[in-house]
Every structure is written in C-alpha cells, then in structure tokens.
Structure 1
C-alpha cells in the first residue's frame, strides 16, 4: 500500500512544465496577449530566440511561432515564452536556469528526450548542420515527451528539425531529432570528420 501511494505521488509530480499567465521582469509584468515588442520593452532581449520559420521564409520577420528563453541563473527558474503571430501565447517554466559560463559536456547520455533546444545549445553548442520542416504528425508521438501517461489521438502540425553534431574523426556524429523545440530522439550517425 505504501509503495502504491509513493508511486501515485511520483506520477503526480511528473506533470508537464508550470504554465502561468504573467511573468515578472524586474518591477514590470509581461502578460499573455502582449505583442513581442511590448515584451521586449518589459523583459529585454531573451537569452535565446528560437524561430519556427517555414523553410524559405524571408529573414527579419517574426516567425509564425517563436519561443524566447530567459535564463536568470541557477537560483531562478528558466522561463520560456511562446509567441504566435507576434503575440505572447503562453509562459512556461523549464526547470532551474544555469550559469552561462558553466562547463558543459555533450555526452550521449546528456541529451535527454524532452530537453529544450536552449538547453541543447548550451550543452552541445550549435550543430554542424540543421534541417527543418513543418509536418503533420500523430498527436501521441509529440505529446509523449511532455506526459507519457496521457492518451491522445488525431494529428497536429509540428515544427520538426534534425540537427547533426560532429565531434571529430575519433567519434561518431550524433543526430538529434526535435519536435516543436524539444528533443524527441538521439541516434548515432557515421564517423565524424576533422575540421580543415
């Protein structure tokens, strides 16, 4: 009985990231439905801006969907703000932040399913190549990353990327798959190469 209670508590604590409607930036507040320009005026430039741009779209414009990440250090939560068509749609916490100059290791075990793109870049740097496309995917494939207990059906539009990391001729390349800015899978590629 005691083990069942412990399992229930652990499953309840594995809920998706905390979502809120307001974010405090100094003495000012950013709210859902604000424009991207208003959020910039309140919170300043984000530490990371992830633009989900359809391949071939003109640079310089806001993407149809963007995620801005604010990292305020290891003692505060990392905040992810999602914009759709230039308006703040949602505000999520993504665990605690980290020091920008902290040493990182891009080990195979270090890249986890559900990891945000910001954490991936901070840990492994920019990949040698990136590809992106907008696809229709079964809802359960994408949503499993956030809540593996839930059952879903139907289809949704997903911003799907593939990043390839090269760690030199002594190691295999690493191929990282991402859906909507979150790692969904990691696999080994061919032997890497040394930069010329």
Structure 2
C-alpha cells in the first residue's frame, strides 16, 4: 500500500502539530490533507481498495449524482485500514479502522459476527462479500435552501444477504451511509 499514518509527537509544546496531524495522511507520493481533490489523493496514495458512495442528490434531470463517498485503503493485517471521506470531490476527513485483511474471507462467518455500526470494509473483512445484495431507493429527506433549488442529500442504502448453510437462518444486513444500521433474521436457507 502506498500510505502511512502520520504520528504526532506527544510533547506538550507540540499540541498544534497533533491537531493538524489528524487532518493529514502520509502516502508514498506525499502528504494528503483536507481539501485535496479525489484525483490528487489517487495520485498521492494510489487507487483505493474500495470506493463507496455515501449520499447522492437528485439532479434537475432526475438522475442521482454522488455527493459524498468514502475510500478505503487496506494495508493488510499488519496495519490499520484508512478511510477518506469526500464531499463534492474534496477530502472532508481521514479515519482509521481496524486492522486490514490479506483477502476478503468467504461467507464463512457466524451470524453473531454481524453487528450494527460496522463499516463496509469491516463487514467485508469479517464475512466476505454477501451471497446477494440489492440497492434500495433513497429515503426522501427535507432539503436545505428555498423553493425548487433545495438540495436534498439522499443516503445510499443497500441490503446484503448472508446465508450460513442449509437449514440455517439467513441474515439481511442494511447498510446506510456505509454503516450497518440493521441486522435482520431471514428465512431458513435450502
């Protein structure tokens, strides 16, 4: 992977450095920071391992346009997964997740492994890709602004379906804004 996390010194006189370090990420190509554009991040840090749309807006022609997205960089099991959130094509924030993965496992996880609050990369790293999935229509939310120019940010929602073997209860996982918001028990599988 082409990045490393900047570590701030824990010296009392360098408190400002610690704050600014949260807004940056070191990559092989240089230091990525808040406000950088998507193409600048890709140049500095390489192609992300996973891209996920978080919210969309409906354009004047009715088409859904991605407004915010999250990129994941997976360094493998020796490093922490790094996440970069973008809004309108610019870095909004950097986050760290749990340890990375060599490859995504198969669907051999247990139903108890699925829990609310997991992000997409954690879910994939724990249980692998779903056996089936579908994108749900966005929930309409009140817009901001006035009249017909109001911008409505619509969260991207998906349902992922996991099976655990013949005769076992399946699980339906709902993701919204890239996080698991619900885990339902489904039917027994054949």
Q: Normalising by the residue count of structure 2, what TM-score does the alignment of the two structures yield?
A: 0.68
1:97-176 superposed matches below 5 A: 97-100=100-103, 105-122=108-125, 123-132=127-136, 133-136=138-141, 158-167=155-164, 169-176=166-173
1:11-30 superposed matches below 5 A: 20-26=22-28, 28-30=30-32
Tell me, in whole angstroms, the C-alpha distance in 2 between the residues paired with 1:93 and 1:129: 26
Tell me, in whole angstroms, the C-alpha distance in 2 between the residues paired with 1:57 and 1:97: 35
Aligned length: 154
Does the 8 Å contact 1:68/1:80 carry over to 2? yes
Correspondent of 1:51 among 40, 50, 53: 53
Does the 8 Å contact 1:135/1:160 carry over to 2? no
- Larger deviation, residues 38-47 vs 97-106: 97-106
Instruction: Give unmatched runs, 5+ long, in structure 1.
Output: 1-18, 138-155
Offset at residue 192 of structure 1 (A) = 2.6
- Larger deviation, residues 47-56 vs 89-98: 47-56
Q: Structure 1 pair 57/166, CA: closer, same or farther in 2 (3 Å)?
A: farther
Offset at residue 74 of structure 1 (A) = 1.8
Q: Normalising by the residue count of structure 1, what TM-score does the alignment of the two structures yield?
A: 0.66
Alignment deviations for residues 14-67 of structure 1 (CA, whole Å, 9 cap, x no partner): xxxxx9210111251111111100000000111111123649847xx7x21111
Within the alignment, does 1:90 sit opposite 2:87 as a pair? Answer: no
Tell me, in whole angstroms, the C-alpha distance in 2 between the residues paired with 1:189 and 1:78: 30
